[in-house]
Amino acid sequence: MKICVVTLGCPKNIVDSEYLSARLFNNQVQFVNEAVDADVVIINTCAFILSAREEAIETILEAVQLKQEGRIHRIYVTGCLPQRYIDELKKEIPEVDVFFSGQDFQEIGRRIAQDLNLSHESSSPIRKLQTPSHYAYLKISEGCDNRCHYCTIPLIKGDFCSFAEAELISEAGELAASGVKELIVIAQDTTYFGRDRGDRDQLIQLIRKIAEIDSLSWIRLLYAHPAHFSDKLISLYSEIHKLCRYIDLPIQHISNKMLKLMGRRVTEKQVRTLIDKLRDRVPGIAIRTTMMVGYPGENEADFLLLKNFMEETRFERVGVFKYSPEEGTRAFHMEKQLDEAIKEERLDELMQLQYDIAYEHNQQLVGRTIPVIIDEKDEESSTCFGRTQWDTPLIDNTVHIKESLAIGSITPIRITQADAYDMWGERNA
- Domain check: are 316 and 406 in the same one? no
pLDDT in tens, the chain (429 residues): 999 999 999 999 999 999 999 999 888 899 999 999 999 999 999 999 999 999 999 999 999 999 999 999 999 999 999 999 999 999 999 999 999 999 999 999 999 999 999 876 666 789 999 999 999 999 999 999 999 999 999 999 999 999 999 999 999 999 999 999 999 999 999 999 999 999 999 999 999 999 999 999 999 999 999 999 999 999 999 999 999 999 999 999 999 999 999 999 999 999 999 999 999 999 999 999 999 999 999 999 999 999 999 999 999 999 999 999 999 999 999 999 999 999 999 999 999 999 999 999 999 999 999 999 999 999 888 899 999 999 999 999 999 999 999 999 999 999 999 999 999 999 976
Q: Which runs of E-coded beta strand occur in 128-258? A: 135-139, 141-142, 161-162, 182-186, 218-221, 243-248
CA distance 290 to 323: 12
- With beta carbons less than 8 A apart as the criterion, state whether 266 and 226 touch: yes
CA distance 169 to 216: 12
- β-bridge partners, 321: 292
Please check whether residue 140 lies inside any domain of the structure.
Answer: yes
- β-bridge partners, 387: 373
Q: Please give the residue range of the domain that contains residue 303.
A: 135-363
- Domain check: are 377 and 393 in the same one? yes
Q: What is the DSSP letter of 9?
A: S
CA distance 188 to 197: 16
Please check whether residue 123 lies inside any domain of the structure.
Answer: no
What's the Rg (C-alpha) of the chain? 22
User: Helices 300-313 & 340-363, crossing angle to 10 degrees?
Assistant: 10
Number of domains in the chain: 3
Nearest to 254 by CA among 180, 337, 350, 326: 350
Which residues lie below 8 Å from residue 334, measured CB to CB, with a gap of 6+?
A: 149, 261, 296, 297
* 3-state SS class at 346: helix
Q: What is the DSSP letter of 252?
A: B
Residue 224: count of CB within 10 angstroms of its CB: 22
CA distance 423 to 367: 11
- Domain check: are 346 and 378 in the same one? no
* 3-state SS class at 262: helix
- Domain check: are 51 and 173 in the same one? no
Please check whether residue 401 lies inside any domain of the structure.
Answer: yes
Tell me which of 115, 146, 167 is where a domain ends: 115
> What type of residue sits at position 421?
Y
Residue 118: count of CB within 10 angstroms of its CB: 20
Tell me which of 81, 115, 149 is where a domain ends: 115
pTM for the whole structure: 0.96
Counting Cα atoms < 13 Å in the Cβ hemisphere of 402 gives 5
Please check whether residue 250 lies inside any domain of the structure.
Answer: yes
> φ, ψ for residue 5 (rounded to 5)?
-105, 115
CA distance 66 to 33: 15
CA angle 320, 220, 140 (to 5 degrees): 95
Determine the straight-line distance between the first and last CA of the chain, rounded to whole angstroms: 48
Nearest to 274 by CA among 229, 223, 208, 308: 229
Please check whether residue 271 lies inside any domain of the structure.
Answer: yes
Please check whether residue 32 lies inside any domain of the structure.
Answer: yes
Which residues lie below 8 Å from residue 313, measured CB to CB, with a gap of 6+?
A: 275
- Domain check: are 311 and 382 in the same one? no
